[in-house]
Structure 1
Amino acid sequence: MRTPMQAPPAGSDRSDSGPAPASEAGDVAERELRQSQRMQVVGQMVSGVAHDLANILTAIQGFAELAADGAPDEVAAVIREIRSTADRGTALTRKLLAVGRHRESRAVALDLNDCVAEVEALLRRVVGPDLEIHTDLERSIPRVNAVVNDVEMVLLNLALNARDAVAGAGWIRISTRTEPASEGGLWPWVVLEVADSGVGMDADTLARVFEPFFTTKDEGVGTGLGLAVVADVVSDLGGRIAVDSAPGRGTTFTIHIPAPADLEARPEPVARARAQGGSETLLLCDDDPGVVRMLASALRRVGYDVVETHGPHEAIAAFREREGRVDLLVTDIMMPELNGEDLLARLRQERDGLRAILLTGYTQDGLSARGVEVGGGRLLQKPFGPEELRRVVREVLDGSPAER
């Protein structure tokens, strides 16, 4: 018989075994500290790799977009495939950049089916060929008030947990459906289920499944935080989570999330007109030559006078050579010897009010962890394409001094 188990409320006592002896508690605390330190190191490493990938993808996407402009149809079709592949790399890079950063707090009216589709695409690239992924999504489900990153994190944790439980040939099923409001409830529920054909869990494991740092995996393989985080996120959403499992019969996690009736759908993105160019002088600085060449090519094509430099000291020399006659600095933030914020501050000592765009492959949290606080110019997140670059350049050049 399968045994259902309901997650306890966030912050409640997750164990009935009483306080641990002092020596055991000390060992647990030390293990948790070591695990936390490992996670910080992994987060920093992943962030660094994602930063380098962002530079590479910025150049690939940019040159592909430039090459497609006016190309013959058969060549343009190949270039579109290059851009499509780079776009998938960009989506993966942004997920990597999310590792270790603080959770966003802005909730939106969210269709869970969209989140399932996004996570499913990622999962198909990381699971083995013997593991089948099925989805069973109810059409036109109500929207929920949730943070996109939170919901995707819940789905990824549950799906990767299911993948590990199957450990070979088998299946994972992700489904959504709507249930009416509970008796006395105000709103209907959107139900999200993640089921697998894995080994299942016994009663002792089920009793501890949502405990922080509890894991059945080998040391160094699992953190024991995934399902605890899932339970806390679901609680934050005003929902509830239950698990139904038995040895040899797989596991099903079922999440109920309230769906308020007054949520407005997110507006459809409005197509932008092509960005205008100009004749201003732009000083470019990035220690990645491919990025500099792409930026320069994209901006020269629409009329700008572009000065290319490959490091902060070279940028300072070029700025002085032109006696400060530069309208806009476009610089990477993380560079050897001098970061972009410090470069901008140095140049503003010679020309007060110089406008700037600061490029980075790191998140705001990643920059803060490296001791960089951005405040001197407009931040532009890599990867990006020529059209987005041109639009931001024009907006900064046309903006008021307060928007520099």
Structure 2
Amino acid sequence: MLAGISGNLFLLRKMTPDDEKTSRKFDDIESLNRRAADMIAQLMAFARKGVVQMKAMDLGQFAHEAVKLARVGIPENITFTLKVDAPGSFIIKGDATQLQQVLLNLLNNARDALKGIEQPRIDMRLSRYDPDSQFLENHVGAHNHPHACISISDNGTGIPADTLKQVFDPFFTTKEVGKGTGLGLSMVYGMVQSHHGLIDVKSQPGYGTEINLYFTLQHATLHSSAAAPAQPETGGGETILLADDEEPVRHAVAEVLESFGYRVLQACDGLQAIEIFSRHYKEIDLLILDVVMPHYGGPLLAGKLREIVPNIPVLYATGYDRTHLLEQEAGKKSHVLTKPLDFHAMNRVIRSLLN
């Protein structure tokens, strides 16, 4: 659905006269669409089916940016501090979307625990941690390597010892009825695990809670990527076979492609795609395939069409984790994009595959 919304929004923006008020409305809708996509990605990640994009990142820089968003939900009467030891030295391999949600959930929980507390306070610190023997004994499978430790503490109500072991259980909550779903900390736990990280909770009723997150430090160097061109080159009448079983999504994407200057043939599933390709393979320049659809999903369908034209370029679109597909397609003329699509990015990939 979000892919269809983003496609139609892209087209509406192109069709609408450019004025500041209208542009702001489009920006708001696009922002909400991205937030909805992020929320779905987080839920799918918790179910271990999501798109997890692990890359080298500076956790210190990320913490400063993430806190800007989190501070919006923290009342002014709560003292909040962030301390980053040795900025620039905390390189980890992580997914920024997941880690943003982890920090938001933990900071929101700390905020809720401060209700009715005099001089409420939340402290967040990023520091280096070198595991000792006790840590390695407490965390089976932990590696004896330097870690980045994110610590979030509050002076709130605290958590009783008899419930502390349950805080990561799905649907368990210490909040009053209607104030919590019981999914926040269980999602945090799942996301930390997806980063091969560790989590500790210390709490004492009447004194507050401290949560520590540990991520293995990397020796990777961050490389700044060149800025993408604002206006990618348009198509030159090339023919694209687009296969997607969601009709609104398919029509929206086809119209966007046509606005870029391509000719588009549409298929509602794998069987129709094979039928169309068999008739028009001499004129089709590129395939855009949904990874999951009836009668041959994208990878299987691509294999069958490559029996006819071995080197046909393929662009896959998916809302799931693309890691396995990237490995499967290694060395082939293909690319994988995540839904909802960024259409300018999609066009740049198309030009790259065709050129």
| In 2: Cα distance, 1:263 partner to 1:322 partner | 47
Alignment length (residue pairs): 319
Q: Describe the superposition over 1:65-112 as per-residue Cα deviations: whole angstroms up to 9, x where unpaired.
A: 332236230333322221122122233233333322699796635143
Which of the residues 210, 215, 220 maps onto 2:166?
Answer: 215
Which of the residues 131, 144, 148 maps onto 2:94?
Answer: 148
Which of the residues 244, 247, 259 maps onto 1:301?
Answer: 259
Deviation of the 1:335 alpha carbon: 0.2
Identify if the C-alpha distance between structure 1 residues 305 and 235 changes in structure 2 by more than 3 Å, giving closer, same or farther. closer
Identify if the C-alpha distance between structure 1 residues 361 and 190 changes in structure 2 by more than 3 Å, giving closer, same or farther. closer
Deviates further, 115-124 or 76-85: 115-124
Which of the residues 12, 27, 38 maps onto 1:80?
Answer: 27
Q: Describe the superposition over 1:366-400 as per-residue Cα deviations: whole angstroms up to 9, x where unpaired.
A: 879xxx955663211111222111111111111xx
| In 2: Cα distance, 1:320 partner to 1:294 partner | 25
| In 1: Cα distance, 2:22 partner to 2:51 partner | 42
Q: Are the equivalent residues in 2 in contact too, given 1:281–1:307 (CA < 8 A)?
A: yes
| In 2: Cα distance, 1:225 partner to 1:217 partner | 4
| In 2: Cα distance, 1:115 partner to 1:134 partner | 17
User: Paired residue for 1:92?
Assistant: 39
Q: Are the equivalent residues in 2 in contact too, given 1:107–1:145 (CA < 8 A)?
A: no
1:390 aligns with 2:347: yes
| In 2: Cα distance, 1:294 partner to 1:153 partner | 30
SS for the counterpart of 1:251 is strand
Q: Are the equivalent residues in 1 in contact too, given 2:115–2:156 (CA < 8 A)?
A: no
Counterpart amino acid of residue 66 in structure 2: E
User: Paired residue for 1:71?
Assistant: 17
Counterpart amino acid of residue 112 in structure 1: G
Q: Describe the superposition over 1:7-54 as per-residue Cα deviations: whole angstroms up to 9, x where unpaired.
A: xxxxxxxxxxxxxxxxxxxxxxxxxxxxxxxxxxxxxxxxxxxxxxxx
Which of the residues 296, 305, 319 maps onto 1:338?
Answer: 296
Counterpart amino acid of residue 166 in structure 2: T
User: Paired residue for 2:176?
Assistant: none
Which of the residues 306, 310, 327 maps onto 2:285?
Answer: 327
Deviation of the 1:313 alpha carbon: 1.9
SS for the counterpart of 1:72 is coil
| In 2: Cα distance, 1:177 partner to 1:78 partner | 37
User: Paired residue for 2:138?
Assistant: none
| In 1: Cα distance, 2:243 partner to 2:354 partner | 17
User: Paired residue for 1:197?
Assistant: 156
In the alignment, structure 1 segments of 5+ residues that lack a partner are: 1-55, 182-186, 399-404
Which of the residues 105, 122, 144 maps onto 1:173?
Answer: 122
RMSD over equivalenced CA pairs, Å: 4.8
Give 1:211-250 correspondences, 5 Å limit: 214-215=165-166, 221=172, 245-250=203-208
Q: Are the equivalent residues in 2 in contact too, given 1:65–1:83 (CA < 8 A)?
A: no
Deviation of the 1:329 alpha carbon: 0.9
SS for the counterpart of 1:98 is helix
SS for the counterpart of 2:81 is strand
Which structure would you say has the larger Rg?
Answer: 1
Deviation of the 1:142 alpha carbon: 0.3
Q: Are the equivalent residues in 2 in contact too, given 1:101–1:365 (CA < 8 A)?
A: no
Counterpart amino acid of residue 146 in structure 1: I
Deviates further, 375-384 or 223-232: 223-232
1:108 aligns with 2:56: yes
Q: Are the equivalent residues in 2 in contact too, given 1:105–1:147 (CA < 8 A)?
A: no
Deviation of the 1:339 alpha carbon: 0.8
SS for the counterpart of 1:336 is coil
Q: Are the equivalent residues in 2 in contact too, given 1:157–1:230 (CA < 8 A)?
A: no
Q: TM-score, normalised by structure 2?
A: 0.68
Deviates further, 359-368 or 271-280: 359-368
Q: TM-score, normalised by structure 1?
A: 0.61
Counterpart amino acid of residue 62 in structure 1: G
